[in-house]
Amino acid sequence: MQDGRISGRAPLAALLAAAMAVPAVADRGVPDPVPAPPGARSGTQSLLGRTALLWTSDSWQQLKAFWRRLDALEPGPGGYGAARSAASDSLPLWRIEAHAILEDVRTEAPALGIDSLELDMLLGLVERRMELLTWGSGIPMTRMMPPPVQDQLDDLAVRLEERIDALRALRDRGVLDGEEIRLAFDSLAADAASWVLLTAVRNGTGTTGVLYFQAWPLEADRILSTADSLTGEALRRIRQEGEAWEGQLEETAADLEALREGLRSTLDRLPALLDLLRDLELFGAPEGPDPAGA
pLDDT tens string 187-228: 999 999 999 999 999 888 866 677 888 889 988 989 999 999
pLDDT of residue 115: 87
pLDDT at 5 over 50: no
Average pLDDT rounded to a whole number, residues 172-179: 88
Give alpha helix (H) positions in the chain: 14-19, 47-55, 58-72, 91-112, 116-135, 150-172, 179-205, 220-241, 249-282
23-27, 53-57, 265-269, range with the lowest pLDDT: 23-27
Q: Which of 76, 112, 106 is nearest to 91 (CA)?
A: 76
- The residue that leads in pLDDT, 144 or 159, is 159
32-46, 111-125, 254-268, range with the lowest pLDDT: 32-46
> Residues 249, 251, 257, 259: is their CA dihedral positive or negative?
negative
Model pTM above 0.75: yes
pLDDT of residue 240: 79
Q: Render pLDDT for 214-266 as a digit per residue (tens, 0 to 9).
A: 889 988 989 999 999 988 888 887 777 766 666 677 778 888 888 899 999 99
- The residue that leads in pLDDT, 10 or 274, is 274
* Rounded alpha-carbon distances, angstroms, from residue 284 to 30, 31, 69, 113, 201: 11, 12, 13, 20, 34
Query: Which amino acid belongs to residue 236?
Result: R
pLDDT of residue 278: 92
Buried b (16+ CB within 10 A) or exposed e, 209-246: ebbeeeebbbbbbbbbebbeebbeebbeebeeeeeebe
- The residue that leads in pLDDT, 177 or 190, is 190
* Rounded alpha-carbon distances, angstroms, from residue 75 to 35, 122, 135, 274: 36, 22, 11, 25
The domain limits of the chain are 44-207+269-293
Show Cβ contacts of residue 294 under 8 Å, excluding neighbours closer than 6 positions: 69, 87, 90, 93, 94
